[in-house]
Amino acid sequence: MSRLQNKTALITGGTSGIGLETARQFIAEGARVVVTGSSTASVEAARAELGGKATVIQADAGNAVGQKAVADSVREAFGTLDILFVNAGVAEFGPLEQWSEAAFDKSVDINVKGPFFLIQSLLPIFSKQAAIVLNTSINAHIGMPNSSVYSLTKGALLTLAKTLSGELIGRGIRVNAVSPGPIATPLYSKLGASEAQSKAMAEQIQAQIPVGRFGNPSEVAKTIVFLASDEAAYIVGSELIIDGGMSNL
């Protein structure tokens, strides 16, 4: 298919998981793609995976000042931007009493502050029919223990999707959000738990999903392709929940 033919897209955190799968699907739909990643290893792996079909750059999603350099890279490569998928994020969990200010700031910087200033930096190069999709989470809706900081950052992103949709539609920019539930990505392997703890956590989570399984990145990526395409031209300020029914319990 070619729903994104001749469109330019930027995907933050696009070197693994949902971001990488979205890059694959954007490319398959005809888009020119720029992907960011935070580590040298992930950037090199994505370059090998995507070959010459995407521009892969290293960037710290939590560095507000550095977002202008990302915008400059996109402008130098393509001039304008039609699609932004804000996917880079960090998921750190813990009881309220164990949070430090530094850990709190890290999550807020990566999940909220960086994306805010990236969008600001990209404003001059967005096309007049652009689409922004923010990757939020069902954690913005459910009271999951130990997820207080993660949930508040995703709730902030969801609010940003709604407020910016009203603010930017006059510029021809649509803003929407996707809120995935449990998705089988490397995210869960980065939580610092042992193999046994990770397995127990996965089983506990899966028991709460009505469809009885984790989602896969391609199921989320397909929704993002839709929201980024002209098929979703009348969808503004909306949130699409992709969680196998988990948030309905």
Phi, psi (5° rounding) for residue 45? -65, -40
Phi, psi (5° rounding) for residue 223? -70, -40
Q: Give me the catalytic one of 84, 150, 151, 243.
A: 150
Q: State the Cα–Cα distance between residues 11 and 26, nearest whole angstrom.
A: 10
Alpha-carbon distances, residue 105 vs 66, 96, 111, 160, 231 (angstroms): 17, 14, 10, 18, 38
Known catalytic membership, residue 234: no
Q: Which two tokens stand for residue 192?
A: 């610092």
Number of H helices, E strands in the chain: 8, 7
- In this structure, are residues 64 and 114 in contact, taking their beta carbons and an 8 Å threshold? yes
* Strands of the 8-11 sheet, one edge to the other: 54-58, 32-37, 8-11, 81-86, 126-135, 173-180, 239-242
**Residue 101 CB neighbours (<10 A):** 7
CA 159 to chain centre: 15
Q: Which two tokens stand for residue 247?
A: 């948030």
Radius of gyration of the chain (CA): 17
**Where in the sequence numbering do the catalytic residues fall?**
150
